[in-house]
A and B are shown apart, each in its own frame.
Chain A
Amino acid sequence: MRSRFDDQLDVLNTAMITMGSLCEQAIATAAKALAEGNAHLAKEVADLSEQIDQKEREIEGMCLKLLLQQQPVAKDLCTISSALKMITDMERIGDQADDIAEIVSMDHLRPMDETEDIREMARAAIRMVTQSVDAFVKKDLEIAHGVIADDDFVDQCFDRVKDTLIQRFSMPEYDGEITLDLLMIAKYFERIGDHATNIAEWVIFSITGNREGN
């Protein structure tokens, strides 16, 4: 009985890693599409986001089945319930990557519009997502705490981007619509950072059983 349960937990773990990997791909592709202004890549992101949604439903079903049929307690319950929470955040990351890609696919962004800060944010957000998935895969508290600490950096970046964009509104050479789009993109990256932080917190919960943060 227990070994069957362990097998199911294993399958869940693999599915979680796969979903994490899909998220990493989605956000990396979205960032690349943004950097290159590549509308074709943007379509790929939509595809990945679709896959992520599918994976979410699959994992959700798996978790509920485990909860109902195995009635796990203690650590197993921790693992399964944190998985349930994590996939919600992962799914949001996929959606936000898709949102970024959607803006890119409208094809009116010019390379000059992008700021270094946004690129920096993209890199930081990708790193955070990768690290949060790493923390889950390796069950590593240290990496998880690192992700939570990184969130402040992304927030600072967002503030800087916001300041830059505010100034642009008064400059005639910048299109206001594009500036707004850029602000949205920056916000999406900032949100992705938040979701990565949530994932890291749930990783900590699944390891220690204590819920950190707010």
Chain B
Amino acid sequence: MTKRIFRSISLAALGAMLAVVAIIIGVLYNFYIGEQKEQQWQQTELAAQGVAQNGMGYFEELELEQCRITWVAADGTVLYDNRVSAESLSNHNEREEITEALISGFGESVRNSDTLMEQTRYTAQRLPDGSVLRLAVSQNGILALLAQVFWPILVVVVAGAVLSLMLASRLSKKIVEPLNELDLNHPLSNEGYDEVAPLLHRIESQQREIRKQSGMLHQRRREFETITNNMDEGLVLLNEKNKILTMNASASRMLESDGDYTGKDILALDRSEAMLDLLLTARRGKGAERITEKNGRQYRIEANPVFSQGFFSGVALLIMDVTEREQAERLRREFTANVSHELKTPLHTISGCAELLSNGMVKPGDEKGFSNQIYTEAQRMIHLVDDIIGLSRLDEGAEDMQREEVDLYALAQEVAGRFAPTAEEAKVSLSVQGGQATVVGIRRMLDTLISNLCSNAIKYNRPGGRVDITVEAAQREARLTVADNGIGIPIEHQSRVFERFYRVDKSRSKAVGGTGLGLSIVKHAALVHDARIEMESQPEKGTTITVIFPL
């Protein structure tokens, strides 16, 4: 801009100067020519009068150096010439000025020399006798004039040019200066040209718009990040070159990212076969999922291609930690297998006995023994099915069940009352001690819990043994203790007795009709009530199980 302004100013200045010089020279030249012309006419007139009066005698006393004087007769014959002898000159009849003078009395013509440096003006006047007198004066041409004034003009022009260039440079800088100093961050605070005000207003409004939009984008991004970072699932978005666009906190944790991997290749984080395969499938435009293992935890990775306007533009990865779910699934499968097995065993016995009976292969008198066996096995199955139903009810979730205030002490007494006959049969004394302790919970489930503990304590006891149920309310917790002095649990089994179908002594268990589900039910019920279980047991000395409910 400065350059352009400079150029136009200096061009204008130079142009103006040259025009002025040209005009001045032109005007001066015209004036000079006009003067000369007038002078020449006066001289012609004088000479004509002289010749008219004195004839040839006039020339003799004439002393003219600057001009050439020629006297031509009416027929064109040269009578006299002061520069060349008259005889050597040809007939002048055809000359423009002579012809003109012969006709109108006066004639004039200008002839340029070859170089334009000189021109000759001819003025002719008809004398009364019909002859013509001609004066020719040579004068400098325009170029000669220019050559004379060339140096002064050059000096003036150069000086003017230098001056105008300097001024132009300063001026252009001065003009541009306020523009350069515009504060575009605060367009409206600028003072200066009114001409740029609309531009500044426009900039201001656009800046406002940009601020608004970037604020909105920022907020959107923050919202997105807040949402995704609070997700349990890992979310990774990749562009079409598998570069990470965004990755939430869970994904960073699951992929063990140790820094900011945004903009890097996902393979830098995870180059497992599963990942390579998923990316390849997604690139082909198909969604896929794989389960991979990393550091002992299992993750399910779902890859879905992202299309924008029909073109593949990236991949969305969803990573879920499925360790627990897979484990639960495995447990469930094991449970199903166990249940089938447990159900099958008594059925085999029943079926075998029944077969013998129906075939009549049983000795008379032994039928009672066989039917008894069928009965006990059937009973065992009923127990088992009951337990399984109970357990699956627990599995179905306690959320739907009604929670109420339950007095553990009263409940324990109720259960003890129910078990009194069984205890008596097993020759075990059963007692309930302690005082009131109210917890909020599911009555039926708590009942099951105490019943199972009680039943175990009686079952795995010896004649003459005792079972003490104690209920205590402490500051923040209620403790329910079922202690027996029975056979106890060997130390190596203690950690496993809460597993489903786990039994310490399978033969004995069968004898007492256990299903291996009792403690597992207890554990589940305790879990539902956020209670924790403590177990203390010594083989041959007895077992104490304490369930501690938070209040």
- Chain A residues with a Cβ under 8 A of chain B: 10, 13-14, 17-18, 20-21, 24-25, 133, 137-138
Contacts and interface: CB of A to CB of B under 8 A. Distances in A.
Contacts of A133: 271
A17 B265 contact: yes
B103 interface: no
B331 interface: no
A14 B272 contact: no
B265 A21 contact: no
B265 A10 contact: yes
Given A14-B265, A14-B267, A21 B273 contact: yes
Interface in B268-314: 268, 271-273, 276
Nearest to B267: A17
B202 interface: no
B276 A138 contact: no
B241 A18 contact: no
A18 B276 contact: yes
A13 B273 contact: no
Interface of B: 241-242, 265, 267-268, 271-273, 276
B268 A17 contact: yes
Given A17-B265, A18-B276, A10 B271 contact: no
22 contacts: A10-B241, A10-B265, A13-B265, A14-B242, A14-B265, A17-B265, A17-B267, A17-B268, A17-B271, A18-B267, A18-B271, A18-B276, A20-B271, A21-B267, A21-B271, A21-B272, A21-B276, A24-B271, A133-B271, A137-B267, A137-B271, A138-B268
A128 to B, nearest CB: 16
Contacts of A24: 271
A137 B273 CA distance: 16
B238 to A, nearest CB: 12
Nearest to A7: B241
A25 B273 contact: yes
B515 to A, nearest CB: 37
Nearest to B273: A25
Contacts of B272: 21
Contacts of B268: 17, 137-138
| Chain B interface mostly | mixed
A43 B268 CA distance: 28
Contacts of B276: 18, 21
A18 B268 CA distance: 10
B330 to A, nearest CB: 21
Most A Cβ at <10 Å: residue of B241, B268, B271: B271
A17 B272 CA distance: 10
Nearest to B275: A21
B241, B242, B273, most chain A CB atoms within 10 A: B273
B433 to A, nearest CB: 57
Contacts of B273: 21, 25
Nearest to A20: B271
A87 B241 CA distance: 22
Nearest to A11: B241
A58 to B, nearest CB: 15
A133 B271 CA distance: 10
B134 to A, nearest CB: 85
A25 B271 CA distance: 10
A54 to B, nearest CB: 14
A63 to B, nearest CB: 18
A23 to B, nearest CB: 10
A137 B268 CA distance: 5
Nearest to A29: B273
Contacts of A14: 242, 265, 267
Nearest to A13: B265
A10 B242 CA distance: 11
Given A13-B265, A18-B276, A21-B267, 12 more contacts: A10-B265, A14-B242, A14-B265, A17-B265, A17-B267, A18-B267, A20-B271, A21-B271, A21-B273, A21-B276, A25-B273, A133-B271
A47 B271 CA distance: 18
Contacts of A13: 265
A84 B130 CA distance: 116
Nearest to B271: A21
B409 to A, nearest CB: 58
A138 B257 CA distance: 11
Contacts of A25: 273
A24 B273 CA distance: 9
Nearest to B272: A21
Nearest to A133: B271
Contacts of A10: 241, 265
A138 B267 CA distance: 11
Contacts of A17: 265, 267-268, 271
Contacts of B271: 17-18, 20-21, 24, 133, 137
B282 to A, nearest CB: 15
A21 B274 CA distance: 11
A14 B243 CA distance: 10
A17 B276 CA distance: 10
B254 to A, nearest CB: 17
Which 10 interchain pairs have the tightest Cβ spacing? A21-B271, A17-B267, A137-B268, A17-B271, A25-B273, A14-B265, A21-B276, A14-B267, A18-B276, A20-B271
A137 B265 CA distance: 10
A124 to B, nearest CB: 19
Nearest to B259: A138
Contacts of A21: 267, 271-273, 276
B473 to A, nearest CB: 55
A21 B265 CA distance: 14
A25 B265 CA distance: 20
Contacts of A137: 267-268, 271
A20 B275 CA distance: 13
B123 to A, nearest CB: 81
A69 B449 CA distance: 78
Contacts of A138: 268
